[in-house]
């Protein structure tokens, strides 16, 4: 007689995702106020610009916004401009954005239009990439112009409005004249399309939006992404531990104090805390320290590259912030890291413009945005450790 095998208990998977934009609404902590506000604005035809430091959940929120807009009947496109280098690449990014999001009847309309235009655009594989590869002398500017005006055609044919989101929009500054080209088309899209621009460097965003020489859209409504609310974040982590037969114990408070609502760092630490907490047990301060070391190991290569990319005075201010109590503006602190007192203010402002420093409350002064970078700099110390001790 065949023996009935006992069912193997389902292995519980780690409930904390720390890479890439989150897609599942249940995974997302809060941001409902921002989501509603943004949807109201785009439905009202306003342009908006959202600023949030790296890994603060911009794309997660934009993805949700697009989903909301689609439900409300809009055509949508999420254009990722990270590291875009040429007009040809820009065309491909926009084409791929429509290819990823358009569905049903609108998709068929756009496919038909692309065929009529006969400029190499397509919603299926290949598309404009194939065209410029085959003929590098293709007039990408003319195609860009046409593609940017797609919302007008869609509106004429279907009556639908389009929401176009440009993510990491500050990178457009690397393509000479591209911001002007975008502006010259979209400024005529009132009642046809809404635009949202997201970026991670406030200084560059200001260049795009406030510099009169580069007015992308002066009237775009600004929105700043704050850290996650600490109470909701703590509840979320606690609930996910309990649901997977674990308890957060004393580690929870330590984690929340360490990550200060930084979305990706919170999830990264929660991920490793969960991993170091066996099923049926409770985490404690020791488990938190293990999780912290594991998170540091995971992020080390990136942290090192981030630090290397700073200018010398920026390195000095960051080291002072991570290692000394009081402000780098104090003479002894400035001297300890080798920066001239007169250079501290300008350097600090520059670090705020790149969102490496943030001011969580108005008068508390700036802090290092990434708590893991602060820890890494603290381990490095004032004088810098030899690389073999770099952990
Ligand atoms: N509202 C949120 N709730 C929970 N986790 C979040 C939230 N927002 C972001 N995260 C965490 O941060 C990670 C990165 O999110 P996302 O890619 O949306 O950020 P981003 O600001 O677009 O990052 P990048 O600067 O790399 O483009 C997610 O994988 C998730 O772990
Ligand atoms: Mg992003």
Instruction: Tell me whether residue 123 is in a domain.
Output: yes
For residue 269, give both structure tokens: 């630490």
200 lines ligand 1 (CB under 6 A): yes
User: CB count, 10 Å around CB of 340?
Assistant: 11
Give the closest residue to 17 by CA, choosing from 234, 237, 198.
237
Does 273 share its domain with 370?
no
CATH classification at residue 377: 1.10.10
Residue 309: alpha-carbon gap to chain centroid: 19
Classified as helix, coil or strand, 226 is coil
| Angle in degrees, 0-180, between the axes of helices 87-101 and 127-134, rounded to the nearest 10 | 150
What is the biggest distance separating any 2 CA atoms in the chain, rounded to whole angstroms? Answer: 87
35 lines ligand 1 (CB under 6 A): no
Burial of 90 (0-12, 13-18, 19+ CB in 10 A): buried
Does 297 share its domain with 315?
no
Distance between CA 241 and CA 235 in Å, rounded? 10
Does 381 share its domain with 296?
no
Instruction: Tell me whether residue 11 is in a domain.
Output: no
Q: Which residue's alpha carbon is nearest to atom 11 within ligand 1?
A: 264
For residue 292, give both structure tokens: 């912290």
pLDDT mean over 327-338 = 95
- Domain endpoint, select from 197, 224, 251: 224
263 lines ligand 1 (CB under 6 A): yes
Does 220 share its domain with 324?
no
pLDDT mean over 324-352 = 95
For residue 252, the CA-to-ligand 2 centroid distance in Å is 27
Distance between CA 230 and CA 212 in Å, rounded? 38
Q: Which tens digits make up the pLDDT trace of 228-272?
A: 999 999 999 999 999 999 999 999 999 999 999 999 999 999 999
Q: What is the DSSP code (8-state) at residue 225?
A: P
For residue 22, the CA-to-ligand 1 centroid distance in Å is 7
Q: Cβ(52)–Cβ(198) under 8 Å?
A: yes
Instruction: Tell me whether residue 13 is in a domain.
Output: no
- Domain endpoint, select from 283, 306, 329: 306
Does 41 share its domain with 190?
yes
Does 236 share its domain with 301?
yes
Q: Give residue 65's pLDDT.
A: 96
CATH classification at residue 66: 3.40.50.300
Name the phi and psi angles at 300, rounded to 5.
-55, -50
22 lines ligand 1 (CB under 6 A): yes
For residue 4, the CA-to-ligand 1 centroid distance in Å is 45
Tell me the percentage of the chain whose pLDDT exceeds 70.
93
Does 244 share its domain with 372?
no
Q: Which tens digits make up the pLDDT trace of 288-313?
A: 999 999 999 999 999 999 999 999 99
Query: Where do we find the tokens 């704050």?
Result: 226
Distance between CA 267 and CA 289 in Å, rounded? 15
Asked if residue 391 has pLDDT above 60, the reply is no
Asked if residue 6 has pLDDT above 70, the reply is no
Sign of the alpha-carbon dihedral angle for 174, 180, 183, 185:
negative
| DSSP string across 342-374 | HHHHHHHHHHHHTTSEE-SSTTS--EES-HHHH
Q: Cβ(246)–Cβ(277) under 8 Å?
A: yes
Asked if residue 199 has pLDDT above 80, the reply is yes
Give the closest residue to 268 by CA, choosing from 251, 280, 281, 255.
255
Instruction: Tell me whether residue 170 is in a domain.
Output: yes
Classified as helix, coil or strand, 339 is coil
Asked if residue 390 has pLDDT above 70, the reply is no
- The span from the first CA to the last CA of the chain, in angstroms, equals 58
Q: What is the DSSP code (8-state) at residue 316?
A: H
What is the pairing mode between strands 367-368 and 357-358? antiparallel
Does 54 share its domain with 203?
yes
pLDDT mean over 27-47 = 93
- Domain endpoint, select from 289, 306, 323: 306
Q: Which phi-psi region, left, alpha or beta, contains residue 57 (left: φ > 0; alpha: ψ -120 to 50)?
A: left
Instruction: Tell me whether residue 19 is in a domain.
Output: no
Instruction: Tell me whether residue 146 is in a domain.
Output: yes
Q: Give residue 207's pLDDT.
A: 81
Residues, the chain: 391
Asked if residue 1 has pLDDT above 50, the reply is no
Does 286 share its domain with 352?
no
pLDDT mean over 133-153 = 95
Name the phi and psi angles at 261, rounded to 5.
80, 10
Q: What is the position in ligand 1's atom list of the atom closest to the CA of 264? A: 12
243 lines ligand 1 (CB under 6 A): no
- Domain region containing 330: 310-390
Q: Give residue 386's pLDDT.
A: 57
Instruction: Tell me whether residue 8 is in a domain.
Output: no
For residue 269, the CA-to-ligand 1 centroid distance in Å is 13
Does 62 share its domain with 123?
yes
Distance between CA 116 and CA 10 in Å, rounded? 53
The rounded mean pLDDT for the chain is: 92
For residue 343, give both structure tokens: 């250079």
pLDDT mean over 184-210 = 89
Half-sphere exposure at residue 130, Cβ-oriented, CA atoms within 13 angstroms = 10
Give the closest residue to 195 by CA, choosing from 210, 206, 179.
179
Q: Cβ(171)–Cβ(81) under 8 Å?
A: yes
What is the pairing mode between strands 221-224 and 357-358? unpaired
Name the phi and psi angles at 297, rounded to 5.
-65, -40
Instruction: Tell me whether residue 318 is in a domain.
Output: yes
Q: Cβ(91)–Cβ(98) under 8 Å?
A: no
- Reported as a pLDDT band with limits 50, 70 and 90, residue 389 is low
Name the phi and psi angles at 50, rounded to 5.
-115, 130
Tell me the percentage of the chain whose pLDDT exceeds 90.
83
Give me the number of domains the chain comprises: 3
Does 239 share its domain with 377?
no
Does 42 share its domain with 178?
yes
């Amino acid at each position: 007689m065949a023996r009935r095998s006992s069912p193997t208990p389902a292995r519980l998977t780690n409930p904390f995702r720390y890479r890439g934009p989150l897609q599942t609404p249940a995974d997302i902590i809060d941001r409902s106020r921002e989501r509603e506000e943004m949807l109201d604005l785009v439905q009202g035809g306003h342009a908006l610009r959202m600023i949030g430091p790296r890994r603060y959940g911009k794309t997660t929120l934009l993805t949700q916004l697009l989903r909301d807009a689609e439900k409300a009947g809009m055509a949508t496109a999420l254009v990722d401009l990270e590291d875009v280098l040429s007009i040809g690449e820009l065309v491909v990014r926009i084409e791929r954005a429509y290819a990823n999001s358009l569905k049903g009847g609108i998709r068929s309309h756009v496919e038909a239009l692309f065929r009529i235009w006969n400029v190499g655009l397509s919603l299926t594989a290949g598309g404009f990439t194939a065209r410029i590869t085959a003929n590098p002398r293709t007039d990408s500017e003319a195609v860009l112009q046409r593609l940017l005006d797609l919302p007008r055609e869609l509106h004429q044919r279907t009556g639908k409005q389009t929401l176009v989101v440009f993510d990491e929009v500050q990178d457009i500054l690397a393509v000479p004249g591209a911001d002007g080209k975008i502006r010259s088309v979209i400024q005529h899209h009132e009642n046809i399309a809404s635009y949202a621009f997201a970026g991670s460097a406030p200084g560059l965003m200001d260049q795009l939006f406030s510099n009169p020489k580069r007015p992308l859209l002066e009237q775009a409504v600004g929105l700043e992404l704050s850290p996650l609310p600490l109470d909701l974040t703590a509840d979320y982590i606690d609930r996910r531990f309990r649901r997977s037969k674990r308890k957060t114990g004393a580690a929870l408070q330590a984690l929340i104090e360490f990550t200060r609502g930084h979305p990706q760092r919170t999830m990264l630490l929660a991920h490793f805390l969960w991993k170091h907490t066996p099923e049926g047990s409770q985490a404690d301060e020791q488990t938190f320290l293990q999780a912290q070391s594991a998170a540091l190991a995971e992020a080390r290569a990136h942290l090192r590259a981030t630090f290397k990319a700073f200018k010398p005075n920026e390195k000095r201010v960051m080291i002072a912030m991570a290692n000394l109590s009081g402000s780098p503006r104090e003479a002894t602190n400035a001297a300890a890291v080798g920066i001239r007192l007169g250079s501290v203010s300008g350097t600090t402002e520059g670090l705020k413009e790149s969102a490496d420093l943030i001011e969580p409350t108005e008068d508390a002064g700036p802090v290092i945005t990434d708590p893991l970078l602060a820890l890494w700099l603290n381990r490095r110390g004032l004088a810098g450790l030899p690389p073999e001790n770099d952990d």
